[in-house]
Amino acid sequence: MTERNLTFPSARGHQMNAFLALPDSPQGDTLPETGAPAIIVLHEAFGLNDDIRRIARRFADNGYAAFAPDLLDIGGPRLLCIARTMRALSAGGGAALDDIESARAWLAARDGIDGERIGVAGFCLGGGFALLYAARGSMRAAACFYGTVPAETDALEGICPVLAGYGAKDTRFLGMPGRLTRHLDKLDVPHDIEVYPNAGHSYMNQHSGVLAKIGGLGPLRKMAIGHHPESAEDSWRRMLAFFDTQVRN
């Protein structure tokens, strides 16, 4: 596997920070000659950090090129960028979806990437964006973990097959799995949605330092934020099998 931090041209006209992890071919080259399948990795509200890089590396270890754009890299103080990006999600995506499309276009144009075999995986904030972006029709498959789901089915019209995971202890997001299931059933879209009884919010993520303490603050306690290894590993198993079927093949 090879990796690097880089920038790419965003839809807003500036160079946006990102992380790229590339798989090795069986011959030891950087990428397979046929072009690697790829996954766009969309971060939580904390932005592109070491945990998202860890997730991208795991995709690369399993044969996928993984590209993680920093959707908070939009100029201005970090807290303001977070607020703007979260408002964009509530409003249905806005410029953030255009930035994700720019990331996809940059990735698809790269030598050694099969631009026809790309999926998206998102976590919390990124999970919500993964669903909205996948409805644009350019993805083979989408994975959404503890992400918000639009209230109206029409917002997901045209979406690709979806895999999702939520924690039952995350009471603030408790209605999202059922809502997503209803939407996808109505749209007749293949889906695999799991609710883990012993997990809370961010159960796939591994935070440390200040980020590890945030979940215990005020109203966030209702989300039971924290890594849950057993649920996370089951989600990885399901997600990789799902992407192998829908994206790689």
Q: pLDDT per residue over 191-240, tens digit each?
A: 999 999 999 999 999 987 655 556 555 567 889 999 999 999 999 999 99
pLDDT for position 81: 83
Tell me which range, 30-34, 116-120, 216-220, is most confidently predicted by mean pLDDT.
Answer: 116-120
CB atoms near residue 162 (< 10 Å): 27
pLDDT for position 78: 76
Rounded CA-CA distance 52/49 in Å is 5
DSSP letters of 24-56? PPTTS-SS-TT-EEEEEEE--TT-S-HHHHHHH
pLDDT for position 216: 54
Question: What is the CA 207 to chain-centroid distance, rounded?
Answer: 16
54 and 79 in contact (C-beta within 8 Å)?
Answer: no
pLDDT for position 215: 56
pLDDT for position 28: 46
Q: What is the dihedral of CA 124, 125, 127, 132, to 10 degrees?
A: 150
pLDDT over 90 (residue 25): no
pLDDT for position 149: 97
Residue-number span of the structural domain to which 125 is assigned: 2-248
Reported pTM: 0.93
Question: 145: domain CATH number?
Answer: 3.40.50.1820
Q: Is 234 exposed, middle or buried (0-12, 13-18, 19+ CB in 10 A)?
A: middle
pLDDT for position 86: 80
What's the whole-number mean pLDDT along residues 126-130? 96
pLDDT for position 26: 52
Residues 6 or more apart in contact with residue 191 via CB below 8 angstroms? 161, 162, 163, 164, 180, 181, 184
What's the whole-number mean pLDDT along residues 155-177? 97
Residue with tokens 């019209």: 157
Characterize 5-18 residue by residue with b for buried, 16 or more Cβ atoms within 10 angstroms of its Cβ, and e for exposed.
eeebebbeeeebbb
pLDDT for position 191: 98
**Residue 234 CA: distances (Å) to CA of 10, 117, 159, 226:** 34, 24, 24, 16
The pLDDT-based confidence of 85 (bands split at 50, 70, 90) is confident
131 and 114 in contact (C-beta within 8 Å)?
Answer: no
pLDDT for position 70: 97
Q: Indicate the number of domains in the chain.
A: 1
pLDDT for position 218: 53
pLDDT for position 213: 58
Query: Chain-wide mean pLDDT for the chain?
Result: 91
If we measure between CA atoms, which residue out of 130, 132, 126 comes closest to residue 142? 130
Taking the alpha carbons at both ends of the chain, their separation in whole angstroms is: 21
Tell me which range, 20-29, 80-89, 221-230, is most confidently predicted by mean pLDDT.
Answer: 221-230
What's the whole-number mean pLDDT along residues 81-103? 87
pLDDT for position 29: 47
